[in-house]
A and B are shown apart, each in its own frame.
Chain A
Amino acid sequence: MIQISPHAEAALTCTLDERSLYLRRLVLGSVRSAGRGHVGPALSLIEMVRVLYDDVLRIDPKNPRDPDRDRAILSKGHGCLALYALLADRGFFPLSELDGFCGSDSILGGHPEYGMVPGVEASTGALGHGLSIGVGLALAGRMRERSYRTFVLLGDGEINEGSVWEAAMGAAKHGLDNLVAMIDYNKLQSYGPTDYVLPLEPLADKWRSFGFAVQELNGHDVGALRTVLKQVPAVPGKPTAIICHTVKGKGLPPAESNADWHHKNKLTDSELDAIRVAVGDF
């Protein structure tokens, strides 16, 4: 029997503030407009992305290619609605773009594309790529003696991929303490529970044994995320892994921990009503 982390229990019960609800309205507005989207994977990710873009990343939306900017890669590219909401809100592109999600002329596809979306550092969607790219960015930063940090957001299902663990070994080999892996541990992948599909536990021990300094927290706790993310590297000379215990579909009761909301097509009237009750009118 897997021991449930207290952070996982806290993730289930913690309440969301107005900014988190607002960001969910942006995400769900895109889903309503497009008639499709990965709802559950975006809603579990929102606070992780929010704290990164609001409080941690040294970035300038007016100069998105600044060589000294911090780099962030959404390796679980299917969670892009959360990223798009933050990038639009922070001014990388107009909020009105969110309504065009997945449209034929939109810059916003179902997975984020480098060169299409200002602020997106790498095209992702195929899983298991982002951490290796992040290792390259972090190594380059060190070789160039630049002070930027590289943050890579990974899904829990994503880390089924062997390439993630190749990258983890590489990051540890080079002692990349300017690299942070954030794992959105919502414990539910496309088919069902991670524990059923391919068990990950003991997850913290795995990252630790691969040479990372490991932190665990409630991934919806904005304060905890700020505290931990502002103290990276957790251990000098080591890459950091932050295991963020989250809830898939967080903030929308019908979607919470419900694999049927992994990807959602057209929202029904009753589902739209449920969304309004959960996050407010949108």
Chain B
Amino acid sequence: MRNTAMNMVHKLAARDERVLYIGSDPGAGTLRAMSKEFPKRHLIEGISEAHIIGMSAGLAMEGFVPYVNTIATFLTRRCYEQVAVDLCLHNLPVRLIANGGGLVYAPLGPTHQAIEDIAIMRALPNMTVICPCDADEAARMMEQTLDWKGPIYIRLGKGGDAVVSKAEHGFEIGKAILMRPQGDVLLVTTGIMLQRALAAADLLAAQGIRAGILHMHTVKPLDTAALLQAIRGTRLLVTLEEHVPSGGLGSAVAETLIDKLGSGLPAMLRLSLPDRFMHNYGSQDSLLKKHGLSAGAIATSIEHALAASRTSSPQLHST
């Protein structure tokens, strides 16, 4: 996914002279081909994220479309004020390509794990937040970023994620994709949780439980219409995210439903990482599994929630 997104910057640069790549101190050889073909538009500016965001704002004020790239935690935590003021307040078309969203950098520990990035980016007025699920979708997504008004936060997975998106679904910023039709349960996913959702749905099907899947690649603006359509007839709404429980996809979905439905809320289960820093290393997959976000654990949680909903309150919550 990461290489694809990077190569798309090169491709867009070839098509449009406004496109710039701005890296802080990325891995050796990042976009080498672009650096040779367009050396003036391939900028490596040092481990100075606060400055890079401000500089990108200045370039965008003059009509450029900068694609800023570094590790997700450094693009969000380190320079939050610059993102808020320089990009969002001015509503400038700077794209933040965040490597290693979620637990991609699991072995590197909590300084490198972007587990609250969606929440803090989503909180900013004018910011758009996109979490593609695989390389193919990342390519389709990047095509749409060129002329999008305002800043975009792009949360990338690590690469090598199973390709599950389909060309016929297309890609439109802010438009969710119904991957599986509505059933007893609706799973709402973002990013690489889609792969887990698909596998969990298969496991549930084996138990006779039909699970619809709505892939919410754009967490902000949230596709309210698609969400309201997809929850019709379902007994349980489940959100899946590689993120702390506060402020991410589950929060966005819950907020939207409260605003739109008021008292008629569906039973809801939010599956996420816990509200704490990860002190385990291992791999992205092993940490997801540890925190109940493997396909098997997701299916089990849903089975339990459905069973509980028959005997107790329809309003469910679990992290």
Contacts and interface: CB of A to CB of B under 8 A. Distances in A.
B62 interface: yes
Interface in B39-59: 40, 45-46, 48, 50-59
Contacts of B57: 122, 132-133, 136
Given A166-B50, A169-B48, A140 B85 contact: no
Interface string B70-87: 000000000001100110
A163 B58 contact: no
Nearest to B17: A143
B179 interface: no
A143 B22 CA distance: 15
Contacts of A31: none
Contacts, number: 95
Given A135-B58, A136-B57, A136-B61, A166 B51 contact: yes
B94 to A, nearest CB: 10
B58 A132 contact: yes
Contacts of A170: 45-46, 48, 51, 55
A140 B86 contact: no
B86 A132 contact: yes
Contact of B55 (A122, A126, A135): A135
A123 B86 CA distance: 8
Contacts of A131: 54
A49 B41 CA distance: 34
Given A132-B82, A166-B51, A140 B58 contact: yes
Interface string A85-96: 000000000000
A225 interface: no
Given A140-B64, A163-B82, A133 B48 contact: no
A78 B103 CA distance: 41
B82 A129 contact: yes
A169 B50 contact: no
B181 interface: no
B82 A167 contact: no
Contact of A139 (B46, B50, B58): B58
A123 B89 contact: yes
Contacts of B125: none
A128 interface: yes
Contacts of A133: 54-55, 57-58, 61, 86
A163 B86 contact: no
B54 A136 contact: yes
A68 B217 CA distance: 41
For the side of the interface on B, what is the size category? 20 to 34
B40 A137 contact: no
Given A169-B46, A170-B46, A170-B48, A129 B59 contact: no
A220 B187 CA distance: 66
A129 B54 contact: yes
Contacts of B53: 132
A140 B48 contact: no
Interface in B83-121: 85-86, 89-90
A141 interface: yes
Nearest to A164: B51
A139 B52 CA distance: 12
A136 B85 contact: no
B63 interface: yes
Given A122-B61, A132-B50, A140-B62, 9 more contacts: A130-B54, A132-B86, A134-B58, A136-B55, A136-B57, A136-B60, A137-B62, A140-B63, A162-B50
15 contacts: A122-B57, A123-B90, A126-B81, A129-B81, A129-B82, A131-B54, A133-B58, A136-B57, A137-B61, A140-B58, A140-B63, A163-B48, A167-B55, A169-B48, A173-B46
